[in-house]
Amino acid sequence: MVQRMPVSCDPRVCVIILNFNGKSHLEYCLPSILKSDYENMSVLLVDNMSTDDSLEYARREFPEIEILVLDSNKGYAGGNNEGIKAAIKKGADIVVLANNDILVHPQWINSAVRAFDADSQVGFVGCDVFGDFSSVPVEDYHEACSKWKNISMDYTAEYISGMALFIKKELFRNVGFLDEKYFLYSEETDLEFRGKLIGYKSMKTNVPIWHYSSGSTQNIPVKASVYAIRNSIRMSIKFKQPLFLILKNILCIYKTAVNPFLGADINDRLVSRLRPKNCFINFFIVSYCVFWNLLNLHETFKARKADYVYINNFNGDY
């Protein structure tokens, strides 16, 4: 059992759950998160204009959580930015970006707080995810929970998925918030890349959590594919990749999306986003994404300039 400091000394943690028509997921997600054994925490449900009865359900069954209802669907980036700003305004030291389709071990927050305490330069913390890249039976997660005993943590060079991502508040002051132009996909990778440019580190703990995988996008495969592809290209442009690498990335996307003989795992969530339909439709999806990036080059360069203002003004205060 982890020995914890008194509550008064613990950093304030706010778990931000972004929701869009996710009542069926909230039914297991909210009870799981509320069983977290970290006392100095709050839960903020940010709703992106749901049209199901998510809000009614949450208000009725979980009156202890705070709910922020947005006046439009601001996507992953915009919705989470609203939640982050509200959380920091109310005194959060650490924010957690959480999907509405996860199950968490009660000690997931304790483990993350210990990781931040271990090194002041740690800006991002993740967990041991079951279902990060493809669907995993929930029984595997429950078995891992039953066998889990002690917290361990390690630095990682990998990007941590935004479906369960701990971030210290100082990072937003030093690198800015999520880039809302992405709307959906790549925005947390963009944020982590900016953090790494000024020396922030990432850690992963061995505490298990489970992810349903694509819980909010499984009914919109083409739209999800468009966002995933266009944003992958945009990020490679935004962070000054050489032209030949940008072109190589685009060609790899075409190959994955269009090649009917590709021996790829169709259960892989990343592959399925690039291949939502048949090869002809996929070709037009990728071509549209390339064209979109050409039309938005000026705005991408403008965003890059704004990011590097933050980075160049960083004073070393982690």
Assigned domain for 308 exists: no
Residues 201 and 229 in one domain: no
CA 278 from chain centre, in angstroms, equals 28
Rounded-to-integer distance, Cα 111 and Cα 158, Å? 18
Identify the domain containing residue 296 by its residue range: 221-302
Number of domains in the chain: 2
Say whether both 185 and 230 belong to one domain: no
Asked which of 178, 211, 244 is the last residue of a domain, the reply is: 211
Q: What does the DSSP 8-state code read for residue 213?
A: S
Tell which of 187, 211, 235 closes a domain.
211
Same domain membership, residue 85 and residue 62: yes
pLDDT in tens, the chain (318 residues): 333 434 447 999 999 999 999 999 999 999 999 999 999 999 999 999 999 999 999 999 999 999 999 999 999 999 999 999 999 999 999 999 999 999 999 999 999 999 999 999 999 999 999 988 778 999 999 999 999 999 999 999 999 999 999 999 999 999 999 999 999 899 999 999 999 999 999 999 999 999 997 655 666 789 999 999 999 999 999 998 899 999 999 999 999 999 888 766 656 677 778 888 889 999 999 999 999 999 999 999 999 999 999 999 999 999
Q: Angle, to 10 degrees, between the axis of helix 23-34 and the axis of helix 54-61?
A: 30
Closest CA to 202 of 141, 153, 151, 146: 153
- Which amino acid does the sequence have at 77? A
Domain membership flag for residue 216: no
Number of residues in the chain: 318
Please give the C-alpha separations between residue 43 and each of 12, 46, 67, 168, 310, in angstroms, as whole numbers: 11, 10, 8, 16, 29
- What residues form DSSP beta bridges with 208? 128
